[in-house]
Every structure is written in structure tokens, then in C-alpha cells.
Homo-oligomer: A and B are copies of this chain.
Amino acid sequence: MLRLMKKHTRPPVNEILIGDCIAHMNALPEGSVDMIFADPPYNLQLEGDLLRPNNSKVDAVDDDWDRFDSFATYDSFTRDWLSAAKRLLKSDGTLWVIGSYHNIFRVGAQLQDQGFWMLNDVVWRKTNPMPNFRGRRFCNAHETLIWCSRDKNSKYRFNYEAMKALNDDLQMRSDWLLPICTGRERLKVNGQKAHPTQKPESLLHRVILASTEVNDLILDPFFGSGTTGAVAKRLRRNFIGLERDAGYAKIAAERIAKVTAVDDPELVSTPAKRAQVRIPFGNLVERGILQPGTVLVDQRRRFSARVRADGTLTTGEAKGSIHQVGAHVQKAPTCNGWQFWYTEVKGALVPIDTLRQKIRAEAP
């Protein structure tokens, strides 16, 4: 599962590549990745062990360090990995980045400068953050994720129904309440945490479920302890992990080896309504489910129209598709005829959409 640098014509799948992430990304084929999740190092001010793209080490922060030089170095690093990521993404692919106030504003500005198109900023609210011990600031209880498509006009994937279902049938908001990674989920080595910033699997679960489909390829350029790979495997997605530290890569590989994929792909896929087979309204007439001449009404019986043999409706004065006639009688610009029109079955009004669903159920 662990590999060193190599030029690839096809992306190596479900592997961890050890080394500098930018060099690895540049060796992978253009436009080959569906989604990227990135948890880049935070700013120099805290860590001081940032590597330049060429793997040379940035001088550690000391009393003489110049803030402007440091931000410039971090910006340069950000620019480089983001442009490599953009090259790798499919045109309809999306990118997630997570960060804190130390680095996320710089990353966000770079994203916009490079033409990524922001879809949402998402706040991970921690149920159990570390308190502010000195009482000099607000408790820093969240991190920020930015979700963006490769380009402004990308037809990106968003599994709206899956997210809505996850949230008790209310549309998912941009603020997510999830615990930090603790307890048995937290990887340990000799009783010490194996990685300082291991992300919780619940966070990746939501990210992956929201923005990918089964068998999609997910890249994580800062793989660390491999949370992205573990959740990708469980949800039957493919992944590539890039990690410069061979020790972390080994821990991640061992972790992922223990993960079992959900056995049934249907359990981890939520097909969008938009992706369902299209059934023309005329099919209902052809198949005798609705006879020509049947009278359709709206829910409050304010309007009515008759079904014609060619699958159009007529009110006498107006004629056209179920959508067009629905819009016309309401004097509205548009209308979803499937939901607007009802037919009477045994004295009760039934939306014609119910009839369509029966056809779909017969021939899946």
C-alpha cells in the first residue's frame, strides 16, 4: 500500500504515496480526481516546521522573524499545492480545505485568486473544544472548512437528499456540530497520540457523503493519520493519500487495513431525484393509466384541465405540457406539473406524481 515517487499514467488507487505532496500531485494524471480533501499545515507562527515546495526547511520562527516574510512563504506554499490540486481535479470536481483562523483566510483568498468557486464555508463546531485557559479570549470552539468547485461553472456533485436525510429531513446547514477525535477512535502509539491533529471520522463521513458518489476517487494531499482513507474505504470510495512522513503513512496504512467496507453499495449511495429515469407525462396516457379526457385539478380545485391523447393538457383556451398549463392557469413563470396536478381516485385527490412513481417502481 505504501509507494514512493513515480510518474503515473493512471492514478494509483487506494495507496499512500510517501514524499512531498506537490511533487506527487504533479506526477499524477491531469483531471483524474473527483474530490480533494486537504488539511494543510497551519501557519508558521505555531509550528515552524513548514517545508518549502522543494522540501527545504523554513527557518524556525525566532524573535527576529519578519511577519511579512512568513506570510509570504506560507502563501507561496499554499499557491503551489492549490495549483497542483486544481490541475488534478476533474472539471466538475470539488475541493475541501480545513483550517483555523491562523491560516484559513490566506487559503481562502488564494482559492479565489486561482479561480476556484466557493460553494460554502462550513463551520465545524466542536462539542468538546479545549477551553481557553487564560481567559483572555473566546473559547476557540470551531474550525472552518471551505468547499469549492474547480471553476465557476462546474457541474459539481452535491448529494442534497443525503445531507437532508442526515439532518432529520431539514436541509443541512453550514454549521456542523461534531465531537473532536477522542477515545478509541484516537490512534495511539505507546499511549501517546499518534498524530497531533487527527480529524474525527464523523467529519469525513459528512464531507464524503455530501460531495462524492460510490467508486469516486478522493485525494488527500496531507494524509496524516489517514482519516480520509479510512472513511473513503468504509463508504466504498477510492482514495489516494499523500504523506511526507513515512511514520504517519505506516500508521495510516495499518489503520485503513483494519477498515471493512460497507458490504452493500446501495447503503452508501443516495441517488438524487434529478438522476432518476425521466418519464414523459405522455407515457401515462399511452399506457392507459390516464385516459384522454380525464380531468385534472389542482389541490384546492381552483383550476382544472383535460388530458389529451398526445400527453398535453387543455383548458379550452390554453394547451401545452402539464408544466406549461400549470404555470399558465396560476399566472406563474414556471410550474412543476407533476406536483401541481391531481386526479380523482375513488373520491380522493392523488397527485399525478404518484402515478409516475408507480411506473418507476415497476421497471427499475
Residue A122, interface by CB 8 Å:
yes
**Inside 8 A of A301's CB, which chain B residues have their CB?**
none
Q: Given A68-B113, A106-B109, A333-B55, decide whether A172 and B101 contact each other with a Cβ distance below 8 A.
A: no
Residue A67, interface by CB 8 Å:
yes
Closest-CB distance, A344 to chain B (whole angstroms): 25
Render A153-177 as a binary contact track against B, CB cut-off 8 A, 1 for contact.
0000010100110000001111100
- Bin chain A's interface residue count: 35 or more
**Inside 8 A of A141's CB, which chain B residues have their CB?**
173-175
Contact check, A171 vs B135: say whether CB atoms are below 8 A apart.
Answer: yes
Q: Which of A123-145 contact B (CB under 8 A)?
A: 123, 125, 129, 131-132, 135-142, 144
Question: Which one of A105, A122, A139 has the highest number of Cβ atoms from chain B below 10 Å of its Cβ?
Answer: A105
User: Which of B106, B115, B135, B174 contacts A112 (CB under 8 A)?
Assistant: B106
**Inside 8 A of A163's CB, which chain B residues have their CB?**
138
- Each complex incorporates copies of this chain amounting to 2
- Taken together as a complex, chains A and B put the C-alpha atoms of A161 and B104 apart, in Å, by 29
Closest-CB distance, A104 to chain B (whole angstroms): 7
Besides the known contacts A102-B118, A121-B144, A138-B173, 17 further A-B residue pairs in the complex with CB atoms under 8 A apart = A68-B113, A71-B113, A100-B121, A101-B118, A101-B146, A104-B121, A105-B108, A106-B108, A106-B109, A120-B137, A120-B138, A123-B142, A135-B171, A136-B160, A138-B172, A141-B174, A141-B175
